[in-house]
Amino acid sequence: MSQTIPFTDLNFKLAVIQELMYNQELLPKFDLGQYAAEKGFTYDGGSVEAVPEALAYFEALEVPAEFAEKITEIEMDGGNEIYLQIAPNWDGEDSLFNVDEFADVAHFPHLKSMTLLYTGNDDALESLRARGIEADWL
């Protein structure tokens, strides 16, 4: 059995999954409509809130450790596919997907660049930059 990456911050994990699943296509793509049909639940496609079943799917999803080296940049953007699969009508105007904890960067030795959803936490930017990662707000 292969090792998986132990994430401490779910939103950091989501940003990594965006890169691996939708940008690099290394993980099978999640489709909310298809998943809802398979699991027999409905959701409000007009809501800006997270669909609990979708969020639970990504919480439980294991990311193989061998993919850690594939992460060289993370670009968090309100239009990222992963966010629209979790909260179909999310507009990026709240802190739903903000990363609060950056300890997870330690798992990604080749991470060189991060564009973050704005939180106002300049200490986080400085901490990332101190690790040699180019970091800026979206």
Q: What is the pLDDT of residues 102-136, one digit of tens each?
A: 999 999 999 999 999 988 889 999 999 999 999 99
pLDDT band with cut points at 50, 70 and 90 for residue 15: very high
Is residue 36 in a domain?
Answer: yes
**Tens digits of per-residue pLDDT, 60-99?**
999 999 999 999 999 999 999 999 999 999 988 899 999 9
> CB under 8 Å to 30, separation ≥6 — which residues?
21, 54, 57, 58, 82, 85
Is residue 3 in a domain?
Answer: no
Is residue 48 in a domain?
Answer: yes
Provide the whole-model pTM.
Answer: 0.96
CA–CA dist 63, 42 (Å, integer) = 27
**Domain boundaries, position 66:** 10-137
Is residue 64 in a domain?
Answer: yes
Is residue 4 in a domain?
Answer: no
HSE on the CB side for 89, CA within 13 Å?
A: 7
> CB under 8 Å to 82, separation ≥6 — which residues?
14, 17, 18, 21, 22, 30, 58
